Amino acid sequence: MTATLRVYRWPSQAFWRYFEIQVLRQISCERPILEIGCGDGRFSSLVFDEIDEAIDVNPRSVEKCRKVSGRLYRRLRCLDARDLKLQDRGFATVYANCVLEHVPQIRDVLAGCFRGLRLGGKLVITVPLLRMNDHLLLPWNWYAALRQRQLSHINLFTEEDWERALRCAGFSQIEFRPYLSGRACRFWDAIDSPGCIGFGRYRMATGLGMLAKNFLPARIKTWLLARLGNWLSGKAEADVDKYPPCAALVIARKDVQ
């Protein structure tokens, strides 16, 4: 948890990512690997030793990734996933962590991922599920719609929706591994929603994160990270599986024919 807090400026982001790291570390990803939506690369550095190629639509993120990711990526490009032209059967794994829910024309992107995988290859994605709307801080439809806009969730699907879209793209073996319960989702929303107050770079989470980074003494930051890490870890460990999942790791395989 402390490692994710060093990557993300707001505790809710570290809390959600903690669950993603746990579930991603349970699977193996054969190379060559393509990552879609790498950001600055620091999250993937907690899971992978090396990734063959990565793209991201944000030029600032790509530039930062070049500076901070070290040797994690062998090739890095600024590119929209919808413009990605993959050669047939090039990759063993296509991977995207909490990205595809934000991408328009998702079915075209999934079809492109299918083409880019070699026979027997797999698409590995983590996605929030539509069920998360039932486990937010406030139980009102207008609040769920507000949070969906704030989080830019274009493709907030059920498991059945994702399976249907993946099968339409050509995948035939699809597995879901849940990693965030309804209880954990409600706690996440309680600490995330205040950080979304504002707009763009002027949101509270961004502003307070910059203040902490630039003005807090190193000793105070270390102490604060340790306390936050202990608190969030306690919340994560107290979580139980009886609540329905609000997010899932999806593994979709391209059959050997």
In 41-172, beta strands by DSSP E = 53-56, 76-78, 91-97, 117-128
pLDDT band with cut points at 50, 70 and 90 for residue 143:
very high
| Tens digits of residue pLDDT in 71-97 | 899 999 999 988 887 766 689 999 999
List for the chain the helix, strand, coil content (%; round to 5): 50, 20, 30
Measured CA distances, 105 to 27, 57, 76, 100, 167 (Å): 28, 15, 23, 10, 16
Domain spans, the chain:
2-253
For 2-253, CATH number out of 3.40.50.150, 3.30.360.10, 3.30.830.10, 2.30.30.30 equals 3.40.50.150
In this predicted structure, what is the pLDDT of residue 208? 59
Token pair 């998360």 in the structure block, residue: 132
pLDDT per residue as tens digits for the range 189-245: 999 988 776 666 656 556 556 666 666 677 877 777 788 888 888 888 766 556 678
pTM: 0.89
Beta-carbon-side half-sphere exposure of residue 47 (alpha carbons within 13 Å): 26
Q: What is the pLDDT of residues 166-179, one digit of tens each?
A: 999 999 899 999 99
- CA 95 to chain CA centroid, nearest Å: 10
Pick from 178, 7, 180, 171: nearest CA to 94: 171
Contact indicator for 123, 35 with CB cutoff of 8 Å: no
